[in-house]
Structure 1
Amino acid sequence: MAHGIAAQGLEIPIYIWYDSYPTHSGEGYEGRVSRVSPDSPYGLASLNLTNIRESDQGWYECKVVFLNRSPNQHKNGTWFHLDVHGGAVIMVPPTNQTKLEGEKVQFSCEAKALPGNVTVKWYREGVYVKEVAALETRVTIRRDGSLIVNPVSADDSGQYMCEVTNGIGDPQSASAFLNVEYPAKVTFTPTVQYLPFRLAGVVQCYIKANPPLQYVTWTKDKRLLEPYQTKDIVIMNNGSLLFTRVNQNHQGRYTCTPYNAQGTQGSSGPMEVLVRKPPVFTVEPDSLYQRKVGETVEMHCDAQEAEGTQKPNIQWQRRDGSPLQRNRVRANGGNITIEGLRRTDFGFYQCVASNEVATIVTATQLVVEGTQPHAPYNVTANATEFAVTLSWLPGYSGGPDYKQEYTIW
């Protein structure tokens, strides 16, 4: 017979075995307790306990009783103590929280383990909080495992995860999200912004807000601007000011003030808005240039602002994004010269003219003759039950009189 000692000090049998009688398992031990097999190296009365629980920890006595003898006055049992070890388990996990900027937040992470030497670590977005420079002076991990951030800032929003372990089994973890709210604020104020004359343009108000932005007020030359009563001006969802058709009267000094449910942190600095005319091409390249391999091609392009007061920036680029071969390419103003033409120079080129308010593009094609044929494109396949039909568009043949032949394999 084996029994344990309950909290009141009473002996509670957990397993009773009498030869030729059915065995008895105590409450809570059904299906988990049995004698060892006869060929076990342990004694025949040894006990096998499975599916160990925390409540199984304690003292156990193996006691032999003879039914045909008077009970002994002295104890004849052997005592054993069972220590139950188990990995850490989170009993009180952290929960999602919303705080105002400047307040204190505390996340719980209460864990239980056997033995109880639990180590708790906290991570923000996967990075250990002690290694997050922005949190270093504001974060505390308490002895009970909870995390305190005091005071919270707008950039502290994110996922926080606690990880617990006592060295047994895999670490356990639980996560919660911190949402930090703050009044809407302007994050950046450009001193000068430009609008394109007679085109659509935008004056940006760079805003950060949580909860989301509700509305923005604007001033022009220190007077409140009422865009809903002003033709050609609309406040966009992000708070910026859209001018559907810019004129000279839109030039001036502007400020913006954003608001959300928490209010505002103030207005932007003054932004000088200047109206500029977009560039126009005065010289455009030919629509097509045809040259032979090894020859040189010069393509012309020039632009100016509409009133001719300033020169826009002019650059050449390949339409497919591949780089120009600088060792064979020379630029002179808006003109470009490519020497020693090769098969790879074949393609479309763009002349790009830009100023502060607009970018304009014109394109030309360069055909390099006397080369191998170019690969076909727009290749498609149409399959039926018994056949496949292939179709494509031919690439450049390599010369005006060259005939292309195709091999399919």
Structure 2
Amino acid sequence: MGTIKLLSVLAVISQAAALLTSPPKIVKQPTQEELLFQVALPGEVDKPFIIECEAEGEPAPKYRWIKNGKPFEYSSYDNRISQQPGRGTLVVSKPRDEDLGQYQCFAENEWGTATSNSVFVRKAELNSFKETDGQQIITAEEGKPFKLTCEPPDGHPSPKVYWMLQGDQGQLKTINNSRMTLDPEGNLWFSNVTRNDASGNYAYTCAAKSIFRNEYKLGNKVYLEVKPTGISPALNKHEPVRQYTTRRNERGLKGKRVELYCIYGGTPLPLIVWKKDGSPILSSQSITQDNYGKTLVIKSPRYEDQGTYTCEVSNGVGSAQSVTIPGQCRRKRVHATRIKHCATLQSSDVIHLSRTPISRSPTAPFFTVEPEIQNKAEGETAEIRCEAGGTPAPQITWIHNGVPIDQTPGNPRRRVSNDGKFIIITDLVKKDTGNYGCNATNSIGYVYKDIYVNVQYDLGANHIMIPTDHRQVDRPSNNVPGDHRLITCVIPLRNYNNQFCA
């Protein structure tokens, strides 16, 4: 009798398992940001890269790709592009320039088509500096501020620019001096020039580094001659003079590092004090100072960081100088901070400026209500909601099985709200099973999420309706007292009282 009962239960479970169909669900996909790759130079080893795409579903989904809006047949690329077995992930073993483009993956089975993020694949590169004729010799006056200008080469991503000292034999040495400061544009500022700054057996060289490529390029050598003043260095004094400060309109994004610059020259070396709303700023985990106090770093801007920032500069010569930088943050949900620089240089210890209203900074879309997977039975109603914020206000569009919903066959039981924030499907039937993607887009970017509606047959009260979960329970054995065994149960998500357990 026990054997017959067990076989009956197994038959029911087998029947339930046969009903466990589902549309594809993307579990790995490309980043929404651009994907970089490198093309090997002559003599270099190829540097493969992948474009991820993997999905779950029953039956197992098949994959296809589009590139720049057209079907992408990777097999026609002389075996240098392949697809991972059982997955949709593309493997580019020998990257070439022509691999640049916009890629998107589709995973499909008989119940629906899931759509991945669309990713722009771009080549990382770093060009060389422009060559100049002969060596460059520049003269600076002792004791006065000075600037070495750098014209960095083009590259993607933008290279990190810095200055180094290069010897006659090509040896390189870093610059670490409180009188020398690099601005964001790559220029090297001397707060004041000393005789020791003159080039002897070394030259100043601007360098550009590609972090992604782990490659750097050197510019032309610049030899610095220092013209002595004939005055004792102790008597050679100059009041503070502004060299570089943060630009008048500086946009910052919430959570993205912001740097405020206050570079002044003078002899002796000027002392800089940063204040917010008139109060000195103390270094903390979120706000620090760099470049010997010439840079204020807000590591992860928050709403509380809005205010008026002032750098006060003095060196005991002339009057103290100050620059005021009003900054405002919008509400947290906007995910943005904007720093506005209203810098007017005046001879006063403190400048009082009223806060200037500023428009909301443009921000990429972000979900405030994300669409969620819907597991339903026939006859029920599915409601898919999707809301997003951003500036400008994003437009919401829907994708159904990889196609814009307005281009799919009509369904009299399906309705999309006028504002696009939800879809309702009433009196569900099995053929309503499928994938739905919400795409929120504005001029800054987009955010996308693909989900599915999975409708299971209703076979009556004695049968499982939505067998979408398997669980193990600890149950005493009927044969051996005190013996406990783990037994697998198939459990419908809508009603945990209906469990198939032996």
Max Rg structure: 1
- Considering the TM-score relative to the shorter chain, is it more than 0.5? no
**TM-score, with length taken from structure 2:** 0.27
**TM-score, with length taken from structure 1:** 0.32
